[in-house]
Structure 1
Amino acid sequence: VLEDLEPKLVWHIFEEITRVPHPSKKEKKLREWIKKWAEEHRIPFKEDDAGNILLMKEATSGCEDYPTLVIQAHMDMVCQKTPDTVIDFENDPLKIRIVDDYVTAEGTTLGADDGIGVAYGMASLISEELKHGPLEVLLSVDEETGLTGAFNMKKGFFTGKYLLNVDSEELGKITIGSAGGGETHYTIPLNFEKKKGWRGIRLSIKGLRGGHSGVDIHLPRLNAIKVAVSGAIFLRERINLLLSVIDGGTLHNVIPTEAVCEFLVPEEKIEEAINLLENWKNDIISKEREKEPDMKIEISEISEEMALTEKKTESILDLLNKIPHGPLAFSKEMEGLVQTSNNLAVVRSDKEKIEIFLSSRSSVDKELEDLRKKLKILGEKYGAAVEQGEAYPGWQPDPDSPFLGLVKKIYEDILKKEVSLKAIHGGLECGMFLRLDPELQIVSIGPEIKDVHTPEERVYIESVGVLWNVIKGIIENMGELK
């Protein structure tokens, strides 16, 4: 599909990557493909116990005294699809296509985050036009669902002191800092009762825009779980209601686009309940049309006899209502930058328990710690068993880094205009790498990628060539850092 696009080498490798399934935590097929590719091209490599891969290449003649450059990307992708798309992300290739000036996928995420970064790294190792110092291409696993690869990487796995992370999504901008974060998992046991004289209703929310729970959390977008909960609470304030099912969201780093809430109401109130919900639905669709133009709310009768008690229903809905979602604080130093946020990411219920997954971020370690403490207290107040894994660190900007100065100069020479520096609210692995080597100098760049973590994900074709020229320029000018 992409054979006529330039730079051919980068696009060819990227298209090959889209044919190999690589969901987060299930990157084995892509890891095997990369190792086979390395053997075919006589590229030395090593793999650690976590599954991270380091590809290596010696300097070309005359560049032996250049410092080693590490080009870093992650192998996993966020797997999201539209409701009517049929795909097995663990076994099926993506269906990619060109639409106007973009490469995208049919009905699914594209995986340009971060397949295009992997492609840049691999292309740099086999490009015949490059003169370069020692190169290391560091490819990590499971960045998207907990930075597992970076967390489990051992000191000394890579040796370079200059790391170029290729996991940003805006052309003309250099990322020099990112937020830290951590997850919270609630588990609450459930006991259901068989109810006679009650009728079931399903409230279904679909078609929300969603997005990345870091870089998109400030945008005026709704959370499908919160919408479903607001509908159930609206009805409960007017008619007795008992909860049966609540499910929504897919991944910790994605703003939920779909949710389902099922509940029982007294048999004699079923018609009134549906009419009330229809009025609520019309109000919310009208009020939120600009934010969520494709939102669909479906209300239907279902055959259901099992439900939670009145007390448990109130407890679950109250907890979900009180869990914060969205930006909680903004940076005083950088206008518009979210400093601290929380994503109500996933709710799953079955006949034994309800599980709730939250993702918190902050560029201020103390704020992240305080938020996670509050979430733990909140969950325990409502009878939840609370699990919180180790938080990952933020990446503090170093605006005086000589490596940043080199990257900025080369970028501006190629773009013919000033390049801006930014910190992001998304999580990058850079903070973890600085833990391994505090002397490391890091910058992050990337081509123009829109709507990451959604089925609308697309990469601007021209930007891929521009960034390839930037990366080549950095590689060839590493001698200035001797």
Structure 2
Amino acid sequence: MENTVVRNQEPQILWNHFADINAIPRASKKEDRIVEFMVAFGKNLGLETIVDPVGNVIIRKEASPGMENRKTVVLQSHLDMVHQKNSDTDFDFDNQGINMYVDGDWVRAKGTTLGADNGLGVAAIMSVLSSDNIIHPPLEALFTIDEETGMTGAQGLQAGYLNGEILLNLDTEEDDEIDIGCAGGIDVTALKTYEEIKNNEGSSAFKFVIKGLQGGHSGMDIHKGLGNANKLVNSFLKRVENIVHIISIDGGGLRNAIPRESTVLFLCAPENIEALTKAHQHYFAELKSNYATIEPDLLCTLEKIDGKFSSMSEKSQKELILALDNAINGVYKMSEEMPDLVEASNNIARVMVKNGEIKISCLTRSSVEESKDEVANSLKKTFEDQGFDVAFSGSYPGWSPNRDSAILKVLTSIYEDVFKTQPSVVACHAGLECGILGTHYPNMDMISFGPTIKGAHSPDERASISSSARFWKFLQEILKNIPLKDD
């Protein structure tokens, strides 16, 4: 019923396509079903449809009558979505479609991510392809895979598959912004084994949990001062490290999401339980005070649990806590070139401690290669100093701003004419695919824009209905006004 309400929003063509793809599980690296759906979609329209060797879908549509002499435009969005849910939400991402509902001007999902990132971009492209009354130049629709966990679709796209001269990326999240640059990134993974000590007789086991944080996009939201559950749990462990013995830690989830929840199990001797309880009370009160505005739903719980457990050795515990305490998290450096732009940051995304093994996963971002390497190497030294093995992987380039872009001038003029105000021309701290695609197609003029989406990569993700209507209107006007081939 709720998804029917979403389908009835305006523009209905956009929301119906969005509901169609949201009925299909489409996790990163598990895009087989959505790729199959998109291929059938293109072929059912009688359009040339191909899948490249890496799994990207390309659909071509001839120009509207009278638009044949305009430059060919590539419309680009990614098919995968971030799968995150609240701990109390019963949901199977592998087999269920997203449960959506309307909340005022917002479309939301019940306890999970919505998939508006980048599903609304995909739906907009589908709307152009399926419409018979939208004026447009020759089109190539590029639907990439695995943007969220490695950008392997963009990285694997080979030269020669696209003929377009202009690329419109529909993957930004503020409708008053036109994006001309983005950050690159690199994954930093720290691994270590540790000795397990058998449970001392008389010790009690406790579960300490941080939850209720907003989370969010580890690029677009990194500057907001949101709580990182992994850092907050470690801050508590640092206070009580002399009276507890860590059993396990399970914190965070995806590399590109600010962690909302973390759970640690530890042992405590009877004579230290009172001190532990007081430390928890003081810490919770401190968190509620420090995060009263930004994290109003934050919870910090401590409960006794049953069972016999082994724990981490004292030496390994000190090394783990020290490494996480010293590791860079959040904004590292602001840009000197563009006002209010984060240049470099790191997200301590995932901490897993279990059965003698530790794995810490970070995503470092920067719009400048030098500072990206600086943060990554700082993390490497921090973890190696405490006996971890560190690996770099998944490096991808940023997208350098071009203020002289011809398509930027077109979009700026159209925006001013349609909305009677000037757009903000920005670069973002997220990882758009334009930088990578530009390495394969260096002469392609690229720009990025999209509808307003809040809370991406978290269960609080929501898409503005009114903004989506403005975005749809803006996109149609752009397609009408693409320059001539010889311009």
Shorter-chain TM band: over 0.9
2:440 aligned with 1:454: no
Alignment of 1:193-342 (within 5 A): 193-197=197-201, 198-236=203-241, 239-302=242-305, 303-342=307-346
Q: 2:172 and 2:86 mapped to 1: Cα distance?
A: 24
The answer to whether the Cα contact below 8 Å between 1:184 and 1:389 also exists between their aligned partners in 2 is yes
Residue by residue over 1:143-190, the C-alpha shift from the partner in whole angstroms, topping out at 9 and shown as x without a partner, is 111111111111122221200000011112101110111101111112
Q: 2:352 and 2:54 mapped to 1: Cα distance?
A: 28
Alignment of 1:429-440 (within 5 A): 429-440=433-444
Of 61-70 and 311-320, deviating more is 61-70
TM-score, normalised to structure 1, is 0.97
1:390 Cα deviation after fit: 4.1
Q: 1:370 and 1:286 mapped to 2: Cα distance?
A: 33
Q: 2:337 and 2:483 mapped to 1: Cα distance?
A: 34
Q: 1:268 and 1:369 mapped to 2: Cα distance?
A: 47
Q: 2:319 and 2:54 mapped to 1: Cα distance?
A: 40
Amino acid at match of 1:38: G
What is the root-mean-square deviation of aligned Cα atoms in Å?
A: 1.4
Q: 2:111 and 2:87 mapped to 1: Cα distance?
A: 9
Q: 1:127 aligns with which of 122, 131, 154?
A: 131
1:391 Cα deviation after fit: 1.4
The answer to whether the Cα contact below 8 Å between 1:199 and 1:305 also exists between their aligned partners in 2 is no
Q: 1:332 and 1:387 mapped to 2: Cα distance?
A: 29
Equivalent residue pairs, number: 480
- Indicate the percent of aligned positions where both proteins have the same amino acid: 36
**Structure 1 residues 80 and 390, CA, compared in 2 at 3 Å: closer, same or farther?**
closer
> Hey, what does 1:11 align to over in structure 2?
15
Q: 2:485 and 2:20 mapped to 1: Cα distance?
A: 34
Q: 1:241 and 1:132 mapped to 2: Cα distance?
A: 65
Q: 1:188 aligns with which of 189, 192, 196?
A: 192
The answer to whether the Cα contact below 8 Å between 1:360 and 1:372 also exists between their aligned partners in 2 is yes
1:194 Cα deviation after fit: 0.5
> Hey, what does 2:365 align to over in structure 1?
361
Residue by residue over 1:432-467, the C-alpha shift from the partner in whole angstroms, topping out at 9 and shown as x without a partner, is 011002111111010111111111111111111211
1:61 Cα deviation after fit: 2.7
Amino acid at match of 2:122: V
Q: 1:151 aligns with which of 151, 155, 178?
A: 155
The answer to whether the Cα contact below 8 Å between 1:235 and 1:277 also exists between their aligned partners in 2 is no
Q: 2:413 and 2:292 mapped to 1: Cα distance?
A: 44
Q: What SS does the aligned partner of 1:108 have? A: coil
The answer to whether the Cα contact below 8 Å between 1:278 and 1:299 also exists between their aligned partners in 2 is no
2:86 aligned with 1:89: no
2:79 aligned with 1:75: yes
Q: 1:96 and 1:400 mapped to 2: Cα distance?
A: 41
Q: 2:7 and 2:331 mapped to 1: Cα distance?
A: 42
Q: 2:323 and 2:308 mapped to 1: Cα distance?
A: 24
Q: 2:482 and 2:377 mapped to 1: Cα distance?
A: 44
1:103 Cα deviation after fit: 1.2
> Hey, what does 2:400 align to over in structure 1?
396
Q: What SS does the aligned partner of 1:184 have? A: strand
Q: 1:383 and 1:471 mapped to 2: Cα distance?
A: 52
Q: 1:221 and 1:170 mapped to 2: Cα distance?
A: 19
Q: 1:473 aligns with which of 477, 481, 485?
A: 477
Q: 1:328 and 1:225 mapped to 2: Cα distance?
A: 17
Of 381-390 and 251-260, deviating more is 381-390
1:480 Cα deviation after fit: 4.1
Q: 1:475 and 1:19 mapped to 2: Cα distance?
A: 29
Q: 1:54 aligns with which of 48, 55, 58?
A: 58
1:481 Cα deviation after fit: 5.5
1:379 Cα deviation after fit: 2.1
Q: 1:392 and 1:182 mapped to 2: Cα distance?
A: 7
Q: 2:290 and 2:58 mapped to 1: Cα distance?
A: 51
Residue by residue over 1:369-393, the C-alpha shift from the partner in whole angstroms, topping out at 9 and shown as x without a partner, is 1221222222222222222114111
Amino acid at match of 2:439: R
The answer to whether the Cα contact below 8 Å between 1:63 and 1:479 also exists between their aligned partners in 2 is no
> Hey, what does 1:387 align to over in structure 2?
391
TM-score, normalised to structure 2, is 0.96
Q: 1:464 aligns with which of 457, 465, 468?
A: 468
1:133 Cα deviation after fit: 2.1
Runs ≥4 residues deviating over 6 A:
none
**Structure 1 residues 89 and 438, CA, compared in 2 at 3 Å: closer, same or farther?**
same
**Structure 1 residues 129 and 231, CA, compared in 2 at 3 Å: closer, same or farther?**
same
Q: 2:465 and 2:187 mapped to 1: Cα distance?
A: 35
Of 266-275 and 176-185, deviating more is 266-275
2:378 aligned with 1:412: no
